Amino acid sequence: MTPFERMQARLAGRQVDRPPNFDIFMTWAARRTGRPLREYYLDYRVLVDANMYVIEHHAIDLVQAISDPYRETADFGAEIEFPEDDMPLSVVPLLQEPEDIQKLVKPSPYTGRRMSDRLEAIRLFREKVGGEYPIMGWVEGALAEATDLRNINNLMLDLVYRPEWVEELCEICVEVAIEFARAQVEAGADIIGLGDAVGSLVNPQMYRRFALPYEQRIFAAVHEMGALCRLHICGNTNKIIDAMVESGADIIDLDHMVDMEGAVARYGDRVSFCGNFDPVSVLLQGDPEKVYRATMHCMEIGGPRAFSAAGCEVPMDTPDENLRAQSRALEDYGRRVLTTA
């Protein structure tokens, strides 16, 4: 099976040769290019080269245009620093005061420097592996983008003291996200991933008010364009799993502290869950046998639609042998299922 065929079959709950590996690679892949991280973030050709290295050396089932959370933020006009060989930093929030929202100008994905760079990456992926590997684009969820524009500490206070203002900001952010998603699908993305990490930091009622409605709108637009949706919320999402399922995502990532078995028991017939072993204690710090066991366990409890991945991004210094152990577990699991079918 090709990775694209494997993904489609798994989403439908059909038999596959092995479960798809949907690990998220960013800094790990960037390091393998031998180029400074700054170039990976700012030059789509380096990002594509990094992903090509990943699929050429490991049994990974997608290429991905994700790199950092500041694509939209930078094109809104925020000052983002790109150290030579470190991750980008938001120097000061663009919206230092609530009144600054009046100055916001929605960026275009076609002319914004960093958003258009992602479009170029997707086009190049399409040239190289389109139809064989799923191509994953990415947008920030409305609440996540609001957080990037405002700063996490400020936004947490805003949620309590000026909730209507947060909704006004999220409305701006969701419109940008939908246009960015549309442009990525037009460029060749098969999947749009959506990051909404702040969703795990608010209570379920706030998540349903300030995150879920915007996720639903973005995913509805993506589905209308004919692409798939992947929802990624870092952290402990046990209390919002039911709401995340309502988002309309086809694939929902679960971090390592989330009860995957319970989520699958309740919603495994509606969505594919992806995960969910610990990216640090297992993938980075564990030995190959530990990675093998963790991968096998997740597939055993994940059901016939589950995808494999660490609970979050593959850490930069993860040993190659641990990634190979994950792949070996998936191959062995696939053979076992085929033998007993």
The tokens describing 203, both together, are 């209570």
Q: State the CB neighbour count (10 A cutoff) for residue 249.
A: 26
Per-residue pLDDT at 81: 97
Per-residue pLDDT at 130: 98
Which residue is associated with the tokens 């914004």?
A: 112
Amino acid of residue 334: G
Domain that holds residue 94: 3-340
- CATH number reported for the structural domain that contains residue 122 in this entry: 3.20.20.210
**Three-state DSSP class for 289?**
helix
pLDDT band at 341 (very low <50, low <70, confident <90, very high): low
Which of the 8 DSSP states describes residue 312? S
Q: Is the pLDDT of residue 158 over 90?
A: yes
Q: What is the pLDDT of residues 195-244, one digit of tens each?
A: 999 999 999 999 999 999 999 999 999 999 999 999 999 999 999 999 99
Q: Is the pLDDT of residue 191 over 80?
A: yes
pLDDT band at 339 (very low <50, low <70, confident <90, very high): confident
> What single string gives the DSSP state of each residue in 281-316?
IIIITS-HHHHHHHHHHHHHHH-TT-EEEESSPPPT
The number of domains in the chain is 1
Query: What average pLDDT does this structure show over 258-287?
Result: 97
Cα separations (Å) of 2 from 62, 90, 205, 250, 325? 10, 39, 41, 19, 20
Query: What average pLDDT does this structure show over 64-85?
Result: 97
- Cβ distance 193 to 136 under 8 Å? yes
Q: What is the pLDDT of residues 17-55, one digit of tens each?
A: 999 999 999 999 999 999 999 999 999 999 999 999 999
Query: What average pLDDT does this structure show over 104-125?
Result: 98
